[in-house]
Amino acid sequence: MLRAFVIALLVLVTPASAQELAAEIIERDQPYGSHPRQLIDVSARPLSTLKPALLIVHGGDWQTGDKRTAIAKTKYFLQEGFAVAAMNYRLFPEVTPRDQAQDVAAAAVWLAKNADRYGIDPRQIYLVGHGSGAHLVSLVGTDPSYLAKYGAVPSDLGGIIALDSPVYDVPTEIAETTLATQRGQVLRQVFTDNPSFWPGASPAYQTAKTRKLPPFFVVHTSGTPNAFRQAKPFASALRKEGGVAVLYEAVSRDPESVYRYFGGENDPMTKELINFIRREANIPVIRTRDPKGLELPPIPWLFAFEAPEEDANGRRITGTEITEIVTHEKRLFAGNGHTNETEESRRAQVMRLDSREEQWKLDFQMPLGFTRVASMAPVSFETDSLGRPIAKLDYLLVGATYERTDDRPLPAAVFIRTPSGNWTKQEIGELTGPVDAVHVESMTGWRDPQTKKDIVLVGASPAPLGITKGIYDPASVGGIRFDDEPEFTPREDERIRGFAACGGRMYAATDKMILRRRDGENASWQVLLDLEDLVATRPYLEQLDVYWQKNYAIGSFRCDRSQAKTTLAFTSLNRAFRYTPGEERPVVEMDIAQLLRRELGREPHYIQAQEATTIRRRGRDLEEWIGIEVYYDPDFLAARPVFPYWRTGFGKDAWYLVRTVVGGQTVYRLEEIYVPGTDPNQRPLARVTDFEMSPFEKDNAIYVGGFAPWFEKVSNTAWIARGEL
């Protein structure tokens, strides 16, 4: 009985006995059965504690292959503290795939029985299969009948690592593959023309048969026909039954190269699966928290504001979300979204903090209908409308979302805080017809290098609104005069997401386009990049939920000042990109979804990135902090009823990305805003929207705000946290 002897081995195999192993054990062709191909190789090094083991199962379309291909993989895994075994198994047509799966189970049991010989933890044996081998290990991991012969169950294994299996659901794959292809011919030969045989040889049909599944690491290569016809549904089926299933896309790999690079020191997939094993084996994941190897102390967070509150004058500060935090006149200003308490209070607010010792004040209450602060920007004018020098004037501009309340036209408005501290409103356009809301969610100041005039640029949507220019004019309301017509109008239902000054030019981003301004009196905008037209980005859409396939958008758009030449950075499609104007396509810097899978063991569907803020910490390299909101895979959540998430699938905890560039290498890490003593289910933080360094004297701190998950009816939930750096 495997479980019985595993318990017995844990008594016999102690750290002391592991230390008595030889310098290195390499044993070849150990028989685990009576057939000439039922042989196993084992390599191990002594450690002070028991170590996990990888049992590598070769591919070869169930008909060919040999364990010797694993020899080159051994060195790196030994260095990482694992034992490595590789096995041969009987081949088709002598046996069927189900017989081959029985060989895999027999080899796993043999390795567990001999664990003390190699210093292996018998509870931490991971079956690693490539190609057809990935199909076999998945079958052993889901169908309990193979291990039952030895008195064991699949959950006795440490885990299953499936490297690009050609099939998990045999009936579906045979139906989708014609006999005219080599693939179709192989499937019909190996799995026969008998449909009654197919389900029993399909891991996807077995997931409900065992009480507890081992954790799975499911790899698919990018661009292969069956990647999401097989891998994603299989991972979803595992999660539906309460299993852990990490789905990993091996970018720029095909079925041959994914195994060739497996076990290489610089292979991203190998590092991901090593972290997967360490996490499942309760071994601390070795990761550098700082690119220079410096230990980063945790940031102590506390709440600086929680709605609802009253300011010093007794005015109520409510709100569902903090959308923007900016520094203006050496004070902090924050945009606070509406509250749902009553229709009368359904309006946005601007709050102000004058010093760290004081409390937040209500600086401005917007009129009814303006429900959300969508953008904020401090701007300065040092020239007049003719480009002549004037004494510097500092303004704070605020854009808002206006939601329909009646049949009247919807205004697109900019609220202006003048140098005297008064608030005025300028309308830059209006919309009629079947439009539910108007958004003014991006704005910036800019000195036009052609006209030498200081201007402001405001992005409003939907069309026919767009990017509108304003100039200083003391005769206009609030001192700013806006053009009657926009310089650029986006596509229907597409928003203006942000501006970025980079390399002496002004750039803008809509939901799916990057633009460059042609400065001058008759300014216009040139489309540089369109994510809808790029063949390179289309495969990423298949990995998104149906809703997000239509509604993905560019986020955290900014100038990448870490690069020597003009480069823009942004997020979209669950990835962080870098783009140099003039190049055909953007470069993927980080798969953010994979980062969450690796570091948190969670399965996201979509990640909405917010503003990016440049952070300068004493003694550290320049960092960018990017707030995110995570929408999780429904199957992942269904298996975790106590996980902190909203019923719509958004997480209740607060995560952000930290991006650092050292020596030309870009590094991303995940950090959490956690206020001690809080429960995410009772005090959800949700979306992290914006960061701002403290402007106060001798105050090395950072402020961050957020909340308001999509599609949720919430009230009085806005928050601002303060972190000591």
The per-residue pLDDT for range 42-69, each reduced to its tens digit, is 999 877 678 999 999 999 999 999 999 9
Is the pLDDT confidence value at 158 over 80? yes
pLDDT digits (tens, 9 = 90+) for 320-329: 999 999 999 9
In the structure, what pLDDT confidence band is assigned to residue 11 with cuts at 50, 70 and 90? very low
pTM surpassing 0.75? Answer: no
Range scoring the smallest mean pLDDT among 204-218, 237-251, 710-724:
237-251
Mean pLDDT over residues 651-666, rounded?
88
| DSSP 8-state code for residue 599 | H
Per-residue model confidence (pLDDT) at position 383? 96
- CA 708/CA 718 separation, integer angstroms: 7
Mean pLDDT over residues 334-339, rounded?
90
Q: What percent of the chain has pLDDT over 70?
A: 92
Q: Select from 284, 215, 129, 138 the least CA-distant residue to 601.
A: 215
Is the pLDDT confidence value at 10 over 70? no
- CA 507/CA 237 separation, integer angstroms: 44
Mean pLDDT over residues 712-719, rounded?
88
pLDDT digits (tens, 9 = 90+) for 125-150: 999 999 999 999 999 999 999 999 99
pLDDT digits (tens, 9 = 90+) for 561-605: 888 899 999 999 999 999 999 998 999 999 999 899 888 878 898
Mean pLDDT over residues 642-663, rounded?
89
Per-residue model confidence (pLDDT) at position 224? 60
Is the pLDDT confidence value at 363 over 90? yes
In the structure, what pLDDT confidence band is assigned to residue 93 with cuts at 50, 70 and 90? very high
Is the pLDDT confidence value at 27 over 70? yes
What one-letter code names the amino acid at 595? L
Is the pLDDT confidence value at 290 over 60? no
In the structure, what pLDDT confidence band is assigned to residue 618 with cuts at 50, 70 and 90? low
Per-residue model confidence (pLDDT) at position 134? 97
What one-letter code names the amino acid at 266? N
- CA 643/CA 587 separation, integer angstroms: 34
In the structure, what pLDDT confidence band is assigned to residue 491 with cuts at 50, 70 and 90? very high
- CA 399/CA 407 separation, integer angstroms: 22
Structure tokens, 674 = 């956690």
Mean pLDDT over residues 199-215, rounded?
93
Is the pLDDT confidence value at 285 over 80? no
Range scoring the smallest mean pLDDT among 24-38, 54-68, 325-339, 700-714:
700-714
Is the pLDDT confidence value at 537 over 90? no
Place of tokens 């470069």: 587
Is the pLDDT confidence value at 14 over 80? no
Q: How many CB atoms lie within 10 A of CB 300?
A: 13
Mean pLDDT of the chain: 89
Per-residue model confidence (pLDDT) at position 601? 79
Helices 268-280 and 592-600, packing angle to 10 deg: 30
Mean pLDDT over residues 338-358, rounded?
82
- 653 contacts: CB under 8 Å, gap ≥ 6: 644, 672, 674, 680, 684, 685, 686
The H or E element containing residue 248 is strand 245-250
Per-residue model confidence (pLDDT) at position 344? 62
- The residue with greater pLDDT, 713 or 263, is 263
Mean pLDDT over residues 380-409, rounded?
94
Q: What is the number of residues in the chain?
A: 725
Q: Is residue 707 within 8 Å of residue 717, measured between CB atoms?
A: yes
In the structure, what pLDDT confidence band is assigned to residue 33 with cuts at 50, 70 and 90? very high
- The residue with greater pLDDT, 680 or 340, is 680
Is the pLDDT confidence value at 12 over 50? no
Q: Is residue 370 within 8 Å of residue 358, measured between CB atoms?
A: no
Per-residue model confidence (pLDDT) at position 139? 98
Q: HSE, CB side, 13 Å, CA atoms: give it for residue 411.
A: 14
Q: Domains in the chain, ordered, with CATH?
A: 2-280 (3.40.50.1820), 290-338+356-361+581-725 (no CATH), 366-533 (no CATH)
Segment of 1-10, 175-184, 652-661 carrying the highest mean pLDDT: 652-661
- The residue with greater pLDDT, 567 or 676, is 567
In the structure, what pLDDT confidence band is assigned to residue 296 with cuts at 50, 70 and 90? low
Mean pLDDT over residues 673-698, rounded?
88
In the structure, what pLDDT confidence band is assigned to residue 223 with cuts at 50, 70 and 90? low
What pairs with residue 331 in β-bridges?
328
Mean pLDDT over residues 96-103, rounded?
98
What one-letter code names the amino acid at 685? L
Q: Select from 581, 436, 430 the least CA-distant residue to 504.
A: 581
